[in-house]
Amino acid sequence: MVQPDLVVFDMAGTTIQAADQVPAAFRQAFEPFGLTLSEEEIASVRGRSKREAISDLLPRHLSSVERQQLSTEVYRHFQRTLIKRYESQGVEPVDGADGTFQWLKTRGVKVALSTGFDRELAALLLRMVGWGKSIDVVVCNEDVPRGRPAPYLVFRAMEWAGCECVHRVAVVGDTVSDLQAAYNAGARWRIGVLSGAHSEAQLKSFPHSEIIASVKELPSVFRE
């Protein structure tokens, strides 16, 4: 068996059942400013840095002066809205995530989480699912110069985990942005999961090594 030194997992939709709240939070964040997002617009930014996604969506609706003034306000409203949704409705790990983490750890593989959320929101999710010692590294939006599809979340996870070879890194995510970031980083394993935002057809349209139903099936990838 060839196994990685490090697996970098996305959070919402990949390891945590929290992805469904994100589109609604996007819509609610824009509505107070008289802006309505289409389903296609929201789908196009899934998996990306939420700050960058909002900055990219605003030019489609506002002039340059207006978007400079509103970008921070919209993001803050998005953050508050999503936190309230998670706190009121709760979140759970994706089935099998804990078992997969444990399987990797017993084999000396380091486990990292990466996310387009800021650390405040990521920390809330981690507290709610009770993950502590099972995670070696958590990399958030503000830890890198650019979010996905740029490769920097992967590189930061490698740096903090002490992993030197990108060819011994696996990246796992539920969006095309996750797969793009994995490809741009040069990761050996670029694994899409069907537990979150994007469909099998969408994921297969981007460079990947495997598409699996969920992280529960990940051990089988490395057993082959």
What does pLDDT average to over the chain? 87
Res 64: pLDDT: 58
Q: For 186-215, how does the pLDDT look when each residue is reduced to its tens digit (9 = 90+)?
A: 999 999 999 888 888 999 998 899 999 999
User: What single-letter amino acid sits at 22?
Assistant: V
Domain range list for the chain = 6-19+92-223, 21-89
Res 43: pLDDT: 78
Superfamily of 6-19+92-223 according to CATH: HAD superfamily/HAD-like (3.40.50.1000)
Res 68: pLDDT: 60
Average pLDDT over residues 115-142: 90
* DSSP percent split of the chain into helix, strand, coil, nearest 5: 50, 15, 35
pLDDT bracket for residue 179 (50, 70, 90): very high
Tokens matching residue 218: 């990940």
Q: Is the predicted pLDDT of residue 115 greater than 90, yes or no?
A: yes
Nearest to 78 by CA among 116, 131, 128, 127: 116
Q: In this predicted model, which residue has the larger pLDDT, 183 or 64?
A: 183
Q: Is the predicted pLDDT of residue 69 greater than 70, yes or no?
A: no
Nearest to 21 by CA among 95, 80, 98: 80
Res 26: pLDDT: 78
Average pLDDT over residues 28-51: 78
Instruction: Mean pLDDT check: name the lowest of 5-9, 183-187, 199-203.
Output: 199-203
Q: For 83-100, how does the pLDDT look when each residue is reduced to its tens digit (9 = 90+)?
A: 888 888 888 999 999 999
